[in-house]
């Protein structure tokens, strides 16, 4: 029997879990009682951690695509193959990109950063941070991480903008409720009703792109002693993300608490897995001499792949075929690549397109650190040995560098921890604006569409759908619409409709809902297929559509 | 120590394709002692295991008087049922049971009997129908009404023909939507009520089928003057353990797998949904 | 309060000095498997198998997972293993019959065990519970310092147990009063007989006095008035609005069901594939939508508010008082600690009473 305290690897709260195992089985996962974040509780996902990592759906051995089918191979063969392809890249034709993820530890992101810039000599490195939190970049210098969960509990006014916090960050929601029970006022600002509206003091129902019009909230804010403003994915992945987030920060300044709702996306950013990190910082802090060319972000990498100027892509832990949206375009771009390497735990949709798949370890199988949404560093400790022949992402990167005769100066992944422990400052980034599509309804596309992922949809669901109980929570994917609108269109529950956006189409059944405004449709997704991403121009949660009735 | 959760081995002796997604399986326990010891009542169910796919409850479709084998009819809708459908004659499954309560066939003795079945609701009723055929003189008039969406969705098609020929019962069948070859009635099951004469206060009604059908049928039966305690149905709930421990089928402190699945309408009305 | 309050008139009582408890415990450990409270991690506690009394931390906070539940009905349990063998299967269930001493249980957890006994062993006997319960020896440690979240007094389950234990220890001044509740308990005492002396009526009265003092002065949670809440639930006169508000706070985490020592719901699934694997059972929670959703898609408790309401109607129902002679809750306070939505038993009881 072994027992280990480690950090949960799903949402950005970062609860401490106590994992008990026997052999290669997890027998029990419980929350730590004394830990500041978990305080004796976990959400639905955390409790089921054990079912997810030791699971026969894991990739056990490296896979190489032969005649269109992925076949099991060896590490020797796979790394050799990759090393040869990378080494064949010339300075002139350096069309290669690297995409990291939230699943890997800080140490591993650090290694990925070094690997990209020093070994394969590219600045084309990015992570889902750009995908999910792009608006942050415009105001990044104002991100101080001065607010914590404990501050939330002491607040006298909590304003929640663009988030269903019970789903996005349950431990944050817990603190908000504790504050409310102690007398704090709760204001919810959202385009759609969320459950906490029933207990809120005020619910401001805005337009999906209208968060800048929140004057009435400002006067409450000014009168409060310790107000805190929580900002979530309906802003970051909303139809007017940049402007709305900028307006929120300008209004509420250092009282803004953004929800980074995946476990270590900040680890990717803090360790330079981004084309936007300052070159001088790379030099001084990371001791990396990076190439002179401007790096591409992941959207630009996709566009470059589509035209053929990007030939190779190394994807570590991110299921970009799901998370980047615009399914048809993303798939076409990936299929055009000459060489796609995917490093992950499960055979995701992206991995299925790869030329080489490298089996990675999960959070219960490696040592390192995560950064949670408060900006605090948390320890990750292993309890299982690597599944099958999988290896920790960091080890794979070190092995690959060695294969390419460009070894990185670290004996193992753990030895990096000391080197990077004080590297976490977001002042490594300059304020800059990333162009995001701005959507608005028009006569051609008169309806807003919100994509509502199930509670368990983190990391594109690729981890969580391996738990029988979490999968049981899935409900059929349907489109919810307002009852008056349905009557107008002569639609009733279970009718089939076709949703059409600028990027694609989708057919779904109708479900009537009382709570939705008339010009909004909510697409409830489910983990078994990501065909809904065809509708989305990028990985946003909102887009505009028109509706066609089907017989 | 006997293990409540350990299935006994049973072999598939026969498989009949009833509809495109429904099959009838005939099982015999591998160990003759298990088969000889196996006693059940009409209305009860068994838990069938396909190891690796899981375990689920299925109503018995045979009369307990016919020993040596038992039958259940299964539609392939989920992981376990699809795995069952992939099996062949001679393959083995695990069986636990019988569980649940029985149809009140004792209280119904000496009365007129009405069976109303819809689609896949006929199999559990069949157990009682056969029991009553086997004890025919204990019951007065027996009427069986059965309906399905289309002729292809009717189960036990051959047997239905036999029932149509039986002189000592009245049997009517209907479908919602006909086909070019269907020569029988078209219409939903309640439509058949107009074609039979019932002595409502002295009749026991056994109703099984889709929830919507049950709802409308019971409404009609009440209007006709049936007593609430004499309208018998089976409750559907997601069930797992079959022995009243796992909690999935609990309604208040009653468990559908222990106190049911057979309930009369008066009991159904009084079930505390909130608890 | 006279001697008649004690319970079984024939219950033997002994004394053991604090300083001798370790040696006595070491004697028990030599003969039995013992699970006792230990410190784990930086600042948590858990009941674990101990090799020596030195591993035991009697100054412990009651762990977030009830030790009786952790042992008798653990979070995950292998029910049977299977392997394909031609057309057939080799199926095995590994029932481990062993003696176990749970040393240092709190009275709330003992009450929970007595509750689980009635649930798992009446009607059909749950095999996996039964095989572990058969040879379980319970040594209860009365509570002198309840946690901030405890309310066992409201459920009449503490701070010490009246009956049902094999041994109960209560700390007096520098020594423990030991109440021997059964022959098994007597066996344990015999293992350290040189450390035990007879106790007197005066010692017993002292114990009662200390427990009364603890009851009245040391509990910080507001009184939960279970009987009033039960009455409101039974007469169903709590407005829907109360449940709407409570339901909107529930985040479906399931923590309440997992930490509650009287919650017994589980699910069963096969881990492995069609050739080889195991059938396991794991804790489940009625707070999850999928808990009652049928294959057809119909869900009798489709909305979160219905699930929250149902949990409390179930726990606070009159049924437990009539059939089991106890409340459905032992006042251990774990849901107060764990509920993410802050809708714990104490808070809900209050809301039910006040109808707001």
Which of B211, B243, B275 is the closest to C317 by Cβ?
B275
Contacts of A167 in chain C (CB under 8 A): 251
- For residue B166, the domain's CATH number is 3.40.50.80
Where does a domain end: B99, B126, B144? B99
Specify if B41 maps to a domain.
Answer: yes
* Digitized pLDDT (tens) for each residue of chain C, 356 residues in all: 333 344 445 689 999 999 999 999 999 999 999 999 999 998 999 999 999 999 999 999 999 999 999 999 999 999 999 999 988 899 999 898 999 999 999 999 999 999 999 999 999 999 999 999 999 999 999 999 999 999 999 888 989 999 999 999 999 989 999 999 999 999 999 999 999 999 999 999 999 999 999 999 998 887 777 888 888 888 888 888 899 999 999 999 999 999 999 999 999 999 988 999 999 999 999 999 999 999 888 899 999 999 999 999 998 888 888 888 888 999 999 999 999 999 988 888 888 888 77
Helix (H) or strand (E) holding C246: helix C240-249
Short-list C47, C41, C37, CA closest to A34: C41
> Three-state DSSP class for A253?
helix
Specify if B14 maps to a domain.
Answer: yes
Asked if B236's CB is within 8 angstroms of C294's CB, the reply is yes
Specify if B60 maps to a domain.
Answer: yes
The CA distance from B238 to the nearest CA of chain C, in Å, is 5
Specify if B260 maps to a domain.
Answer: no
- Complex-level ipTM: 0.93
Which of C124, C270, C310 is the closest to B52 by Cβ?
C270
Specify if B198 maps to a domain.
Answer: yes
Q: State how far the Cα of C334 lies from the Cα of C251, in Å rounded to an integer.
A: 17
- Verify that B121 and B224 share a domain, yes or no: yes
Asked if C342's CB is within 8 angstroms of A181's CB, the reply is yes
Contacts of B87 in chain C (CB under 8 A): none
Strand partners, A499: A506, A547
CB–CB contacts below 8 A, B to C: 133
Q: Which domain does B93 fall in, by range?
A: 8-99
Strand partners, C91: C82
- Verify that B160 and B194 share a domain, yes or no: yes
Q: Which residue segments constitute the domains of chain C, with CATH numbers given? A: 3-217 (3.40.640), 226-354 (no CATH)
pLDDT score at A422 = 61
Which has more confidence, B17 or C2?
B17
How far is C-alpha B229 from the chain's CA centre?
Answer: 19
- Verify that B212 and B132 share a domain, yes or no: yes
Q: In sequence order, which ranges of A203-326 are alpha helices (DSSP H)?
A: 215-223, 233-236, 241-252, 265-270, 279-284, 298-307, 320-323
- Verify that B134 and B170 share a domain, yes or no: yes
Q: What would the pLDDT profile of B110-145 be if each residue is shown by its tens digit?
A: 999 999 999 999 999 999 999 999 999 999 999 999
Short-list A206, A289, A51, CA closest to A517: A206
The CA distance from C311 to the nearest CA of chain B, in Å, is 7
- Verify that B118 and B230 share a domain, yes or no: yes
End-to-end CA distance of chain C: 38
Q: State how far the Cα of A210 lies from the Cα of A232, in Å rounded to an integer.
A: 15
List the structure tokens of B153: 């969705």
Contacts of B273 in chain C (CB under 8 A): 300
Where does a domain end: B99, B132, B157? B99
Asked if A195's CB is within 8 angstroms of C249's CB, the reply is yes
- Verify that B149 and B91 share a domain, yes or no: no
Specify if B256 maps to a domain.
Answer: no
Contacts of C242 in chain A (CB under 8 A): none
pLDDT score at A55 = 85
Contacts of C42 in chain A (CB under 8 A): 5, 34
> What residues have CB less than 8 Å from A415, skipping those under 6 apart?
none
Those residues of chain A whose CB sits closer than 8 Å to some CB in chain C are 1, 3, 5, 18, 26-34, 39-44, 47, 50-51, 56, 166-167, 170-171, 173-174, 177-178, 181, 195-199, 455, 468-469, 472-476
Question: Does C267 reach chain B within 8 Å, measured CB to CB?
Answer: yes
Q: State how far the Cα of A210 lies from the Cα of A490, in Å rounded to an integer.
A: 29
pLDDT score at A411 = 87
Residues 193-212 of C with CB under 8 A from B: none
The full 3-state SS of chain B, as one line of letters, equals CCCCCCCEEEEEEEEEEEECCEEEEEEEECCHHHHHHCCCCCCCEEEEEECCCEEEEEECCCCCCCCCCEEEEEECCCHHHHHHHCCCCCCEEEEEEEECCCCCCCCCCCCEEEEEEEHHHHHHHHHHHHHHHHCHHHCCCEEEEEEECCHHHCCCHHHHHHHHHCCCCEEEEEECCCCCCCCCEECCHHHHHHHCCCCHHHEEEEEECCHHHHHHHHHHHHHHCCCHHHEEEECCCCCCCCCCCCCCCEECCEECCCCCCEEEHHHHHCCCCCC
Contacts of C293 in chain B (CB under 8 A): 238
- Verify that B152 and B207 share a domain, yes or no: yes
> What residues have CB less than 8 Å from C147, skipping those under 6 apart?
C61, C62, C333
Report DSSP state, residue A58: B
Q: How many CB atoms lie within 10 A of CB C55?
A: 16
Which of B52, B78, B90 is the closest to C272 by Cβ?
B52
- Verify that B90 and B123 share a domain, yes or no: no
Contacts of A42 in chain C (CB under 8 A): 253, 255
> Three-state DSSP class for C135?
coil
Asked if C273's CB is within 8 angstroms of B6's CB, the reply is no
Question: Does C257 reach chain B within 8 Å, measured CB to CB?
Answer: no
pLDDT score at C8 = 47
Q: At what angle do helices C345-354 and C226-234 cross, to 10 degrees?
A: 60
Q: Which residue segments constitute the domains of chain A, with CATH numbers given? A: 2-53 (2.20.25.90), 63-134+264-365+385-428 (3.40.50.740), 138-258 (3.40.228.10), 447-549 (2.40.40.20)
Specify if B258 maps to a domain.
Answer: no
Asked if C264's CB is within 8 angstroms of B248's CB, the reply is no
- Verify that B117 and B226 share a domain, yes or no: yes
Structural domains counted in chain B: 2
The CA distance from A351 to the nearest CA of chain C, in Å, is 23
List the structure tokens of A295: 């790096």
- For residue B46, the domain's CATH number is 2.40.30.10
Specify if B59 maps to a domain.
Answer: yes
Residue ranges of chain A whose pLDDT lies below 70: 93, 212-213, 421-427
Residues in chain B, total: 275
Where does a domain end: B99, B130, B149? B99
- Verify that B156 and B186 share a domain, yes or no: yes
**Separation in Å, CA C87 to CA A190, B74, B76, B89, C79:** 58, 21, 21, 10, 22
pLDDT score at A16 = 97
Most B CBs within 10 Å, among C72, C80, C276, C322, to test the B interface: C80
pLDDT score at A213 = 63
């Amino acid at each position: 029997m072994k027992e280990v305290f480690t950090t949960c690897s799903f949402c950005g709260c970062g609860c401490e879990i106590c994992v008990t195992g026997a052999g290669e089985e997890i027998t029990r996962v419980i929350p730590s009682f004394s830990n500041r974040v978990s305080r004796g509780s976990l959400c639905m996902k955390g409790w089921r951690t054990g079912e997810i990592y030791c699971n026969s759906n894991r990739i056990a051995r490296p896979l190489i695509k032969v005649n269109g089918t992925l076949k099991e191979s060896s590490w020797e063969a796979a790394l050799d193959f990759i090393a040869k392809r990378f080494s064949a890249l010339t300075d002139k034709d350096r069309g290669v990109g690297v995409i990291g993820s939230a699943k890997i530890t800080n140490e591993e992101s650090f290694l990925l950063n070094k690997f990209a810039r020093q070994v394969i000599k590219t600045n084309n490195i990015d992570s889902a941070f750009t995908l999910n939190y792009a608006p942050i970049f415009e105001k990044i210098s104002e991100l101080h991480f001065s607010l914590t969960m404990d501050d939330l509990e002491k607040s006298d006014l909590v304003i929640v903008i663009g988030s269903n916090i019970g789903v996005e960050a349950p431990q944050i929601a817990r603190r908000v409720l504790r504050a409310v029970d102690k007398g704090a006022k709760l204001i919810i600002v959202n385009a759609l009703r969320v459950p906490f509206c029933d207990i809120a003091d005020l619910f401001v129902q805005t337009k999906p792109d209208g968060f800048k019009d929140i004057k009435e909230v400002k006067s409450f804010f000014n009168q409060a002693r310790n107000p805190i403003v929580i900002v979530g994915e309906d802003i970051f992945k909303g139809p007017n993300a940049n402007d709305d987030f900028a307006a929120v920060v300008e209004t509420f300044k250092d009282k803004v608490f953004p929800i980074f709702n995946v476990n270590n996306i900040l680890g990717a950013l803090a360790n330079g897995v981004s084309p936007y990190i300052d070159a001088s910082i790379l030099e001084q802090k990371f001791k990396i001499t990076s190439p002179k060319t401007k790096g591409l972000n992941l959207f630009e990498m996709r566009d470059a792949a589509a035209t053929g100027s990007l030939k190779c892509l190394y994807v570590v832990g991110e299921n970009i075929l799901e998370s980047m949206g615009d399914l048809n375009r993303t798939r076409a771009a990936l299929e055009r690549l000459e060489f796609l390497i995917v490093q992950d735990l499960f055979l995701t949709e992206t991995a299925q397109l790869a030329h080489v798949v490298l089996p990675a370890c999960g959070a219960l199988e490696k040592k390192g650190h995560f950064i949670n949404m408060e900006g605090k560093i948390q320890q990750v400790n292993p309890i299982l040995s690597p599944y099958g022949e999988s290896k920790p992402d960091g080890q794979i990167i070190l092995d690959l560098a060695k294969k390419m005769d460009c070894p990185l100066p670290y004996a193992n992944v753990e030895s990096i921890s000391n080197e990077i422990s004080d590297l976490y400052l977001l002042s490594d980034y300059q304020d800059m604006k990333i162009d995001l599509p701005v959507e608005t309804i028009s006569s051609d596309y008169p309806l807003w569409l919100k994509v509502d992922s199930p509670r368990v949809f983190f990391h594109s669901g690729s981890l969580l759908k391996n738990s029988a109980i979490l999968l049981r929570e899935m409900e059929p994917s349907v489109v919810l619409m307002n009852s008056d609108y349905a009557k107008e269109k002569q639609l009733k529950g279970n009718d089939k409709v076709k949703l059409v956006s600028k990027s694609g189409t989708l057919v779904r059944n109708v479900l009537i809902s009382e709570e939705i405004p008339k010009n909004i449709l909510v697409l409830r997704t489910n983990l078994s297929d990501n065909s809904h991403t065809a509708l989305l121009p990028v990985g946003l949660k909102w887009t505009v559509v028109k509706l066609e009735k089907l017989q | 120590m006997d293990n409540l959760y350990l299935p006994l081995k049973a072999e598939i002796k026969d498989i009949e394709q009833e509809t495109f997604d429904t099959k009838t399986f005939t099982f015999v326990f591998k160990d003759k002692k298990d088969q000889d010891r196996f006693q059940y009542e009409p209305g009860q169910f068994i838990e069938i295991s396909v190891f690796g796919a899981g375990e689920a409850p299925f109503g018995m479709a045979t009369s307990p008087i016919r020993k040596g084998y038992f039958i259940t009819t299964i539609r392939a809708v989920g992981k376990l049922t699809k795995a069952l459908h992939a099996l062949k004659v001679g393959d083995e499954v695990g069986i636990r049971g019988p569980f649940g309560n029985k149809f009140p066939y004792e209280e119904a003795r000496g009365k007129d009997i009405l069976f109303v079945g819809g689609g896949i609701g006929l199999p559990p009723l069949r157990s009682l129908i056969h029991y009553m055929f086997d004890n025919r003189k204990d019951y007065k008039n027996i009427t069986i009404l059965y309906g399905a969406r289309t002729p292809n969705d009717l189960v036990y098609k051959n047997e239905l023909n036999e029932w149509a020929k039986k002189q000592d019962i009245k049997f009517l069948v209907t479908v919602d939507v006909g086909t070019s070859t269907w020569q029988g009635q078209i219409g939903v099951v309640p439509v058949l009520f107009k074609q039979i004469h019932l002595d409502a206060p002295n009749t026991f009604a056994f109703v099984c089928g889709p929830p919507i059908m049950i709802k409308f049928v019971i409404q009609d039966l009440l209007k006709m003057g049936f007593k609430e305690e004499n309208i018998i149905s089976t409750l559907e709930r997601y069930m797992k353990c079959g022995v009243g421990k796992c909690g999935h089928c609990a309604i208040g402190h009653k468990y559908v797998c222990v106190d049911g699945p057979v309930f009369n309408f008066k009991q159904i009305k009084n079930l505390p949904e909130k608890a | 309060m006279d001697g008649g309050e004690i319970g079984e008139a024939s219950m033997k009582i002994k004394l053991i000095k604090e300083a001798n408890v370790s040696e006595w415990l070491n004697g028990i450990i030599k003969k039995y498997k013992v699970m006792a409270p230990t410190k784990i991690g930086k600042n948590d506690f858990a009941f674990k198998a101990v090799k020596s009394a030195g591993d035991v931390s009697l100054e412990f906070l009651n762990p977030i997972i009830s030790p009786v539940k952790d042992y008798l009905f653990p979070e995950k349990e292998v029910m049977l293993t299977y392997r394909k063998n031609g057309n057939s299967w080799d199926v095995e269930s590994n029932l481990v019959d062993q003696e176990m001493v749970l040393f240092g249980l709190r009275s709330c957890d003992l009450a929970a065990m007595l509750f689980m006994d009635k649930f798992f062993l009446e009607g059909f006997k749950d095999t996996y519970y039964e095989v572990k319960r058969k040879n379980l020896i319970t040594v209860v440690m009365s509570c002198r310092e309840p946690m901030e979240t405890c309310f066992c007094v409201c459920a009449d389950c503490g701070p010490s147990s009246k009956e049902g234990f094999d041994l109960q220890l209560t700390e007096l001044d520098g020594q423990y009063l030991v109440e021997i509740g059964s022959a098994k308990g007597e066996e344990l005492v015999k293992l350290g007989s040189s450390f035990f002396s007879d106790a007197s009526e005066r010692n017993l009265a002292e114990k009662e006095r200390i427990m009364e003092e603890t009851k009245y002065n040391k509990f910080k949670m507001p009184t939960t008035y279970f009987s009033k809440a039960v009455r409101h639930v039974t007469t169903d006169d709590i407005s829907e609005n109360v449940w709407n508000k409570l339901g909107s706070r529930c985040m479906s985490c399931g923590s309440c069901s997992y930490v509650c020592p009287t919650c017994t719901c589980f699910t069963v699934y096969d881990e492995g594939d069609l050739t080889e694997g195991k059938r396991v059972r794991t804790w489940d929670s009625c707070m999850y939508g999928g808990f009652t959703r049928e294959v057809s898609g119909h869900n009798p408790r489709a909305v979160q508010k219905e699930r929250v309401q149902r949990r409390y109607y179930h726990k606070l129902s009159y049924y437990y008082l009539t059939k089991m002679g106890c409340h459905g809750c032992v006042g251990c306070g774990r849901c107060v600690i764990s509920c993410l939505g802050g809708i714990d038993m104490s808070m809900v009881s209050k809301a039910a009473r006040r109808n707001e």
